[in-house]
Amino acid sequence: MSRFRRPAKPLIALAALAAVAVVFSACAFFVPGSLSVSQPGGIGPARVHFMICTVGEGDGCSPAEENEEAQYLLGIAVPPGSTPPATVTGVPASGGSPLVFTRNEEVAAEIAASSANLHKLAEEEGEGGAPAAQVWPPAGLQGVGYLSNTQVEQEGVKAEWNIDADFGLPAPADGSPFSGPFATGIAYGVRFVEAGQPASRPVRCFRFDATVEENPTTEGQAICLGTIEEKQIGTSDLKIAAPKQTSVFLGGQAKLSFPFNFATTAATPSFALKATSTLPKAKLKVGNSTFIPGAVDPTTHRSPTAPQTVTVTVPKNAKPGTYDVTITATTPQGGSVSQLAKLKVTKAKIGLGGVKLNKAKGTATLSVRIPGGGTLTATGKGIVKAKKSAKSAKKPKTLKLTIKAKGKAKQLLAEEGTAKVSAKVTFKPTSGTAVTKTKKITLKQN
């Protein structure tokens, strides 16, 4: 960077920091005191907000001193596992072009290395690590780097940008909610774009260490500062677990239970609950229209797991298949979290098995395979109504019905030893539409 002048021997921390101040006084810089962290939706992403502005001769934001093209390096430290945005946009406060920062791993690595060297230098020179030389990322946080597009700074023109970066909360390995707080630390750097130094070149931050005397070349390098400001905020997080796939018969009802897990280091919000489904004309009923998390454990910052139910009534004429049932919890601020369950809709089917005759009694035993819980009956002209119940059955099973003759069929059986009957076999699921099959049986009696 041709505008940077190497400090005179011997290199000391104050000289290095003074050189930094000279460079940044001619460029856009982070606005001190502008950093804040919030959770706009009450749950969901944490928003890191700050400002950048041109700095000229005066204090604070002021018009640029000359025409030049520059790129800005941005480091945002966040809790490990946070989901960073691919780009961050700086919105002009009063006209002008936006700043677009694109995620860049080189920036993160370079700022971290440069800040470590500058911090070490300050400590060695007895400065105790001046604020501008604080190591980045701060302990316990991970650094995310961004590089801006080329910005043309115009002499006499003051420019300001408001920047909001939304980071998804970390997802603990056990699937539990993030209990917070959400902390951040901002680092910053700048490099110029000019002939022979295009915006596409690799990122390299100038190292404030002993090697500067042996290798004073600084062309194309950026001047980078470590942690400038730090902030944190308590957050709330809700995780909804998905229930196992549930099966239901046409015309039946299915109750789906979604475990709700909540954690917070902020205020506990209330949630409005709503359910939707891809199953056409399905009727949905949420057990509770509102969810308020229970008392938070002061150690884990988590509330007890609280299952929330959705009851789905399946239309009788629905098409068999697998459908989504989604429950959504929304805060008054508009933050929401959803989870879906799979609902398999099937038509109840029965299988009519073999018939075993009891010639001594003139009866028959009919085996019927049913798909689950429900009631099985056999009716028809010339036979006594037979009924078996298996309402508690969770899996398919076989039931046996005894077919007995009555009326004219019974008389014919007694006189001739045989009688043909037709059994209408009906299975009514515990929840669902009944299904019927017919079985012709020839009864015999010795």
Q: Find, among 154, 77, 158, 145, the residue nearest to 109 by Cα.
A: 145
What pLDDT, on the 0 to 100 scale, is given for residue 152? 87
185/232 Cα distance (integer angstroms): 9
What pLDDT, on the 0 to 100 scale, is given for residue 6? 36
Tokens 């390995």 sit on residue: 173
Burial (CB count within 10 angstroms: exposed 0-12, middle 13-18, buried 19+), residue 299: exposed
Domain spans, the chain: 13-233, 236-346, 351-444
What pLDDT, on the 0 to 100 scale, is given for residue 9? 33
What pLDDT, on the 0 to 100 scale, is given for residue 199? 94
> How many CA within 13 A on the CB side of residue 435?
22
What pLDDT, on the 0 to 100 scale, is given for residue 25? 56
What pLDDT, on the 0 to 100 scale, is given for residue 119? 78
333/323 Cα distance (integer angstroms): 30
Say whether domain 351-444 belongs to CATH 2.30.30. no
Tell me the whole-structure pTM to 2 decimals: 0.83
Burial annotation 160-183 (CB, 10 A radius, 16+ → b, else e): bbbbbbbbebbeeeeebbbbbbbb
Q: Which amino acid belongs to residue 326?
A: T
Point out the residues of the chain with pLDDT beneath 70: 1-26, 57-59, 125-133, 209-218
Are residues 46 and 24 in contact, defined by beta-carbon separation less than 8 angstroms?
no
Token representation of residue 268: 């506990």
Are residues 1 and 73 in contact, defined by beta-carbon separation less than 8 angstroms?
no
Residues 6+ apart with CB under 8 A from 274: 286, 327, 328, 330
CATH of domain 236-346: 2.60.40.10
152-171 confidence digits (pLDDT tens): 888 888 899 999 999 999 99
CATH topology match: 236-346 vs 351-444: yes
Token representation of residue 281: 């004309």
What pLDDT, on the 0 to 100 scale, is given for residue 153? 85
Q: Find, among 402, 387, 218, 248, the residue nearest to 316 by Cα.
A: 248
What pLDDT, on the 0 to 100 scale, is given for residue 23? 52
Q: What percent of the chain has pLDDT over 70?
A: 89
What pLDDT, on the 0 to 100 scale, is given for residue 213? 46
Residues 6+ apart with CB under 8 A from 334: 40, 41, 42
What pLDDT, on the 0 to 100 scale, is given for residue 148? 97
What pLDDT, on the 0 to 100 scale, is given for residue 430? 94
